[in-house]
Amino acid sequence: MRRSPSLVAGGLVIAVMATLAILALLWTPYDPLVVDTTARFSSPSWQHWLGTDQLGRDVLSNLLVGARTSLTAALAATVIAMTIGATLGITTAVSPRWLDGVLSAIVTVVIALPALLLALVLAAARGPSTSAAVAAIGIAAGASVAAVTRFDADGIVRSSYVLASRYSGASTSLVIRRHVLRNLAPTLAVQASGAASIAIIAESTLSYLGLSTPPPTPSWGRMLASTQQYLLVHPLLMFWPALFVCITVLGFNLLGDGLRERLDPTVAQYG
């Protein structure tokens, strides 16, 4: 089987970003929260590789901690989305027709609700927080995962070998474990990558709007929000966090494309 360039490129990008996030736990060039008004708007230099912001804080240090914040939130939201989506999707596929209709209707309603609206509701109830944003993103993305999973799982459940297994007396739980989950694994892997990509964008958007990670914790979205007024005079302050968001999203998308090429027989044959 030939190596997928998308899989290699996407995996490399995500590995680099994950390494930066882990590095921020151990070391940053400067304390990202320390204000130095004498070093405001410093250009990139040997002292501050990416310069400083309007408060004299080191931009690189804030980007590293922002990577940790954004990737952790995206990972948590992805786990929630995949858990909800896979559970609902498989359940609807193996359920009686009336329960399938009820669960499908719930999924359709949730898909119609944007993550931003869910985040606003949770923020009103609990106040803006990372956990509220993660929950909103996870629920919203989970509904989309459930819809795709349900479609694929339904085809598996109706296949001849699964029907033969059920006629031979296999329980529903055994059918799910032995046949459905095994055959859904490629689809779920690709969906996880896509959900992570969406989670990065959603978390950055919610942080930008003040509905996710509260200050003073750095995040890419909050960096964009705090520097937007200086766009015309100091464009690099917005350029760096925007670049990190775009590269990370691109990495997850490439990873998803590569996984689909590697795991989907039809794509592997005709791609």
Provide the Cα torsion 265, 86, 151, 187; round to 10°: -10
As a whole number of Å, the CA-based R_g of the chain is: 22
Closest CA to 202 of 29, 42, 64, 81: 81
pTM of the model: 0.91
Residue with tokens 């400067």: 30
Q: Specify the pLDDT at position 50.
A: 97
CB 65 within 8 A of CB 218: yes
Q: Can you identify the CATH homologous superfamily of domain 5-270?
A: MetI-like (1.10.3720.10)
Q: Which residues of the chain have pLDDT under 50?
A: 269-271
How many other CB atoms are there within 10 angstroms of residue 230's CB atom?
Answer: 15
* Dihedral of alpha carbons 181, 182, 187, 190, sign: positive
CA pseudo-torsion sign 96, 99, 103, 109: positive
Helix extents (H) in 95-235: 97-112, 115-126, 130-157, 160-167, 172-175, 181-208, 220-227
Look at residue 270 in the predicted model and tell me its pLDDT: 45
Give the model's pLDDT for residue 167.
81
- Encoding tokens for residue 160? 């001849």
